[in-house]
A and B are shown apart, each in its own frame.
Chain A
């Protein structure tokens, strides 16, 4: 049911973990829904130098989180803001239709982390 890429990112997720000195943190979903993720970003000179994630959820949710962190790493804030649910799903060679809405929360969590970073910059 899942593509090889999804299974690869699910069984060997990249960038797992918590970041204690994150410049931005974004959370999306909740366990009642079945999927919840947290994304941490480290930013230097407008570039995302490090990303980490923690995810509660199904295979697709974990693969999406892993993929979005891999995509965002090294991007400028502006580039990372343009990552969408569709582009993450595409990078994973597609997701089953029933997983597109509930488990594809990576881009949203990343955008929230970027927003959190920007808010912190203003202070």
Chain B
């Protein structure tokens, strides 16, 4: 059976050249980068080379890159590190309601530590209104954190407009660019952000390798204390192979990015136009300002997890924001924030394409997905429409 991976926003396969670049640092070049002899030097040099390549992907300087172990760590670092560094100046932080859990839960943690947090709403396409950011800024505001692109609905935020306001007001701006960096062109100087989170596995690098960009001159308190690694801002013996992998993946991505976008965008458009021909299917997120390989929908009258399982049985791997498909059994806060009613959020499904996706894959998908929808609608009691007796809330769920 065909196996079609359409969940690139979850993670990506490792590029074969990246694995080749990493291998020597598992084997002969195993030295500790702090050691003062051959294998240590080699590891040190490899990290600094990777730092240059990683910085170059987002048009940053090498010294502005701090390697971490995940996007979640970088997001925690940005929020807590800036909050603690600037708490003397003020204790107010602004985030959007559609941030990743690692930003939202860090913000909630900081609330418990005495910081005030404003959670900005988004419109029906998932966009943050820059003017709403301006209005939320007070004399106490020290940090704004807005997700660059949503992994769930694909919407790309007007980061440059928001940074203009943040700069006018003298407030730092962090963006969680995990879903964007490596998938669309990202330039920290054009965006004028002060901090940016990005992760290697989103652009065919290894898992366990990520970075926080911190603009030169920005003070940040470390999460992890110890040795002098990463300029004393992130202690711990470096994961050399992973860092080397991130650097190599950044080089390849910088070289291939436009080619990848030109390849997946028409395939994505094909999926969207074909899927929207099906009755009672709605595109979630922004129609144009969205990630090039990202197609997300809600399908009425059926449930997301059931769709994922049926798709997987046909060899198509995808994701959903439905309550049943989540371990926490809660509907996606992102879908609720863009105004999708809870019963419709149950029918959410997300397809994300990558460089190995082919036209044949999309043809197969376009044939298969409507069949699955009809099959599940045959089983559903709502195939003729939602009943008006729906309970507005759910209390039965544990």
Contact = CB atoms under 8 A, between A and B. Distances in A.
A56 B302 contact: yes
Contacts of A29: 396
Interface string A101-119: 1110000000000000000
Contacts of B386: 31
Interface string B370-398: 00000000111110001000111110111
Contacts of A38: 381
A13 interface: yes
A99 B302 CA distance: 17
Interface in A52-110: 54-62, 98-99, 101-103
A34 B391 contact: no
Interface string B302-325: 111110011001000000001111
A113 to B, nearest CB: 13
B325 A102 contact: no
A33 B396 contact: yes
Contact of A56 (B301, B392, B397, B398): B301
A36 B381 contact: yes
Interface string B10-30: 000000000000000000000
Contacts of A13: 379
Nearest to B393: A32
Given A38-B381, A56-B380, A32 B306 contact: no
Nearest to A59: B309
Contacts of A35: 303, 324
A102 B324 contact: yes
B343 interface: yes
A31 B309 contact: no
Interface in B257-291: none
A102 B381 contact: no
B329 interface: yes
Interface in A1-52: 2, 7, 10-11, 13, 16-17, 27, 29-38
Contacts, number: 95
B327 interface: yes
A58 B310 contact: no
B96 interface: no
A34 B382 contact: no
B379 A16 contact: yes
The binding surface of chain B is classed by DSSP as loop
The listed residue with most A CB atoms (<10 A of its CB), out of B301, B381, B397, B398, is B381
Nearest to B396: A33
B324 A32 contact: no
A54 B393 contact: no
B391 A58 contact: no
Nearest to B382: A56
A101 B396 CA distance: 8
A34 B118 CA distance: 30
B394 A10 contact: no
Given A33-B396, A101-B398, A103-B324, A16 B378 contact: yes
Contacts of A16: 378-379
Contact of B324 (A10, A17, A27, A58): A58
Contacts of B398: 101-102
B346 interface: yes
Nearest to B377: A56
Given A11-B313, A34-B397, A58 B325 contact: yes
B160 interface: no
A102 to B, nearest CB: 5
Contacts of B378: 16-17
A34 B324 contact: yes
Q: What are the 10 tightest A-B residue pairs by CB atom distance, in nearest-first order? A: A54-B381, A58-B324, A31-B343, A33-B394, A58-B305, A34-B323, A101-B398, A32-B394, A59-B309, A34-B324
12 contacts: A7-B309, A10-B306, A30-B391, A33-B396, A34-B331, A56-B301, A58-B305, A58-B322, A59-B309, A61-B303, A98-B327, A102-B329
Interface of B: 301-306, 309-310, 313, 322-325, 327, 329, 331, 342-343, 346, 378-382, 386, 390-394, 396-398
